[in-house]
């Protein structure tokens, strides 16, 4: 049986919303109109103001995030997604988490990005981070590869993430009891509870409380990223990021040794 590590995207790998970063890039390329970017801005405001996604707004987020692709070709979005990921998303990945992904590779684990963002974007980001693959929300295509504006299945959010991971584990002979999952949100409890080694990364209040009660590792990266954004000297920032990455790596090594 194989082992794997599953990573949420927004506020786990990067600060804020990948969909908003995608929308900004598409707007600059005249792919989106102002009304679309306004919806994304409102979604981003909710992320910042509330500290986590609100399940009650999933339908609104879905409409804002995926309706704009109607009538466009998949190859066009995939290429634009690649450009925007390189420009706006990959540079924002927490260095600590990039080190954790690399550490899982060294342990022989598969690494998967699991996100509600579009499948095309998930694949590009996963590739950019050297991960095994990415799973995201799939949009419906007609026979010629044009988006219909509807989803092909459910939004990959909440319980749907856990279902997707269970299907992936069955297909790739992954032992979920020996696998890890990383997320910031209480909405990902089904995902975290589906593996033997859950991690709370930049957790919202509810997930932090629950993680502490259950003895799950809690990794806080936000203060270091805020420091970087306001211009902390690079040598100090690098030292803090390196020590946090090493701490997570040592924890993983101990767990691996205990099993060996």
d(C-alpha 22, C-alpha 14), whole Å:
13
d(C-alpha 95, C-alpha 93), whole Å:
6
The string of DSSP codes covering 182-249 is: EES-GGGHHHHHTSSEEEEES--HHHHHHHHHHT--EE--HHHHHHHHTT--HHHHHHHHHHHHHHHH
**Tokens linked to 254:** 């101990």
Q: What are the backbone dihedrals phi and psi of residue 128, each rounded to the nearest 5 degrees, phi first? A: -65, -25
Radius of gyration of the chain (CA): 18
Instruction: Give the residue among 205, 248, 147, 184 at the shortest CA–CA distance from 9.
Output: 184
8 is known as an active-site residue: yes
Residue 44: CB atoms within 10 A of its CB come to 18
Q: Which of 10, 96, 188, 204 is catalytic?
A: 10
Task: Answer for the pair 42, 252: CB distance below 8 angstroms, yes or no.
Answer: no
Beta bridge partners of 137: 118
75 is known as an active-site residue: no
Q: Which of 8, 109, 184, 188 is catalytic?
A: 8
Enumerate residues 6+ apart whose C-beta is below 8 A from 80.
25, 26, 29, 31
**Tokens linked to 216:** 């799950």
Q: Which residues are catalytic?
A: 8, 10
């Amino acid at each position: 049986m194989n082992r794997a590590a599953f990573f949420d995207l927004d506020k786990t790998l990067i600060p804020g919303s990948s969909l908003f970063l995608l929308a900004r890039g598409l707007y600059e390329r005249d792919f989106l109109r102002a009304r679309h970017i306004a919806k994304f801005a409102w979604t981003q405001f909710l992320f910042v103001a509330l500290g986590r996604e609100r399940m009650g707004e999933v339908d609104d987020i879905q409409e804002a995030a995926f309706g704009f692709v109607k009538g466009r070709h998949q190859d066009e979005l995939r290429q634009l997604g690649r450009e925007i990921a390189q420009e706006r998303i990959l540079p924002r990945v927490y260095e600590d988490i990039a080190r954790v992904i690399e550490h899982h590779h060294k342990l022989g684990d598969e690494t998967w990005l699991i996100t509600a963002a579009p499948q095309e974007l998930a694949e590009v980001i996963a590739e950019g981070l050297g991960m095994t693959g990415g799973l995201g929300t799939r949009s419906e295509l007609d026979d010629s590869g044009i988006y219909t504006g509807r989803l092909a299945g459910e939004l990959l959010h909440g319980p749907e993430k856990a279902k997707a991971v269970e299907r992936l584990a069955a297909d790739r002979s992954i032992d979920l009891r020996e696998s890890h999952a990383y997320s910031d949100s209480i909405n990902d409890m089904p995902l975290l509870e589906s593996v033997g080694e859950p991690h709370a990364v930049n957790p919202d209040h509810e997930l932090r409380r629950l993680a502490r009660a259950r003895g799950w590792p809690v990794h806080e990266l936000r203060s270091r990223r805020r420091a970087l954004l306001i211009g902390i000297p690079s040598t100090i920032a690098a030292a803090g990021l390196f020590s946090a990455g090493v701490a997570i790596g040592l924890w993983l090594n101990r767990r691996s040794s205990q099993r060996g």
